[in-house]
Structure 1
Amino acid sequence: MSAPDHLDSDPPTTVDVLQRIKPGCEAAFEAVLAELIQAAMACEGHLGVNVFRPSDPAHPEYRIVFKFDRISRLKQWEESPIRQRLLNRARQFTEGTGQYAMLTGLETWFTLPHRPGLPAPPRYKMMVVSWITIYVLINLINVILVPLIGTLPAFLRTLVVTLVVVAVMTYVAMSRMTKLFKGWLYPARRL
């Protein structure tokens, strides 16, 4: 099986969990969550986790985002006894079953913090917002970073620039751009 075929059948994936915590149980939930994150970090293929704590009283849910390099490795984590044990402990501090969404493509950049289960916007809208963001980032990098690394060989400069663009896009810019353009990205949905 070639690498592109393998990536199509077992792509990188992001799991987006939205969970409401019982009032007064936040500290106990945080303790179990810390153990859950520690256990996930030990799993093969785990790429990171982000926790978005409630900041809006109208949406008092925790949003927890796990990233894995392959769906197959995510499945191994989901079926692991330690995860099951920790989820059972966490359930005593949560309300309802929560929301769970698995994202495997560009749509992972286009999730709203308090509404992860919404279907992704149309691809042309994702492309336009991504293009605007990349355009701004490349121009900022050309002004700020390129003068600092200008003496490096071209392939190393490109390596650094692309690494910075992808990291900023993934961890900083796209969540903010999604919020900024949410009215256009999700026009028919009540947010």
Structure 2
Amino acid sequence: MPAAKASPPRPAPATVVITQRLRAGREPEFRRWQAEVNDAAATFPGFLGAEVTPPGDAGAEWSVLYRFDDVAHLKHWLDSATRRDLLARGTGFFEQPSTQHVLVDEPDEEVATVVVAHPVAPGREAEFVAWQDRMTEAERTFSGFRGSELHRPIPGVQDEWTIVYSYASAEHLDRWLASPQRKELLAEAPDFRDFEVHRIANPYGSWFPPTGSGSDQSPASWKTALSVLVGLYPTVVILTLAIDELWPSAPLWLSLLIGNILSVSLLTWVVMPVVTRALGFWMRPRTAPDPRTDLLGLVCSVGFLTLAALFFYLVTRVFWTLP
């Protein structure tokens, strides 16, 4: 019996983050030039989007993000003559050469991320940064390391220094957290050991629990959002109509509070378990990702929402006169 032919891996979306320090007084020209660069990038194959972020109150660097559907398309844009010409025209806008970081999504891995918040005493900032640099260098030596970011305090918003680091899986992360190297670094700086560690979990929690098929990979974000809408829309409409019929004189703020409490409870323990089982073939396919399965799940979800909208229209406008 011939061996089954393995499906080729699907391309992973790729992002480039560019930071650049703008010269004083050049912002209007820079914005026009940057819009032209964004328009040029949008004409290249695989372009997914661009985002320009101005510096914060305490910063001076602009950040520009370009996202493509795979590394090859991103590289085609980065190496293109079109981009080189645009960069040559914009050289005079910046105080120094820009920095560039390429990030590649890895959909076959369940990335585990941790946020660590450190309170740092005034005057100890440089010492803390040096110690954190040593910590990051140690993190890099462990298998599965995906990246680390250091965020400074924001006056009036956040007093702690925040470090976000990621590993390819929870196992890789746990290996680092329990490692002798990390314990040694913590022992080097007892003044910085007063910190909080927070793991970042699936944003929809137990609505999308791991399956028993051996794969712990979370569903794609767009599938998660659409499936939540499938459960949320009819739940909210039914509760809104029911509350209005049962308590028509209820204050708006109170009826909304009651509706939200009921909808969250129903979604968590009744609706979403049904939705996730019904769409399980699409959200967590047992075989390799298949565009036909993705299309079928999308059609089912959109079709259900369309029928639900039609049903509620007929109920509230044709058969009964309701809000």
> What TM bracket, shorter-length normalisation?
0.5 to 0.7
Which structure 2 residue ranges, 5 or more long, are not aligned? 114-146, 153-162, 174-198, 208-223, 239-277, 280-296, 303-323
Amino acid at match of 2:34: L
Q: Is the 8 A contact 2:77 2:83 kept in 1?
A: yes
1:170 matched residue in structure 2: none
For 2:237 and 2:44, the matched residues in 1 are separated by 35
Q: Percent identity?
A: 26
1:90 matched residue in structure 2: 90
What is the root-mean-square deviation in Å for CA atoms of aligned residues? 4.0
1:164 matched residue in structure 2: none
Closer/same/farther in 2, CA of residues 76 and 142 from structure 1, 3 Å limit: closer
For 1:63 and 1:158, the matched residues in 2 are separated by 39
Cα distance, 1:114 vs structure 2: 7.4
SS of corresponding position for 1:32: helix
Amino acid at match of 1:50: E
Alignment of 1:26-175 (within 5 A): 26-56=27-57, 58-105=58-105, 120-123=165-168, 124=170, 128-131=199-202, 133-135=203-205, 144-145=232-233, 147=235, 155-156=297-298, 159=301
Deviation digits for residues 38-85 of structure 1, max 9, x if unmatched?
0001111000011111122x2211111100011111111112221111
Deviation digits for residues 15-46 of structure 1, max 9, x if unmatched?
01111101111111111100000000111100
Q: Is the 8 A contact 2:230 2:301 kept in 1?
A: no
- Structure number with greater Rg is 2
Cα distance, 1:91 vs structure 2: 1.4
Closer/same/farther in 2, CA of residues 52 and 145 from structure 1, 3 Å limit: farther
SS of corresponding position for 1:102: strand
Which structure 1 residue ranges, 5 or more long, are not aligned? 161-191
Cα distance, 1:111 vs structure 2: 8.1
Q: Is the 8 A contact 2:13 2:70 kept in 1?
A: yes
Q: Is the 8 A contact 2:14 2:102 kept in 1?
A: yes
Q: TM-score, normalised by structure 1?
A: 0.61
For 1:113 and 1:40, the matched residues in 2 are separated by 29
Cα distance, 1:134 vs structure 2: 2.9
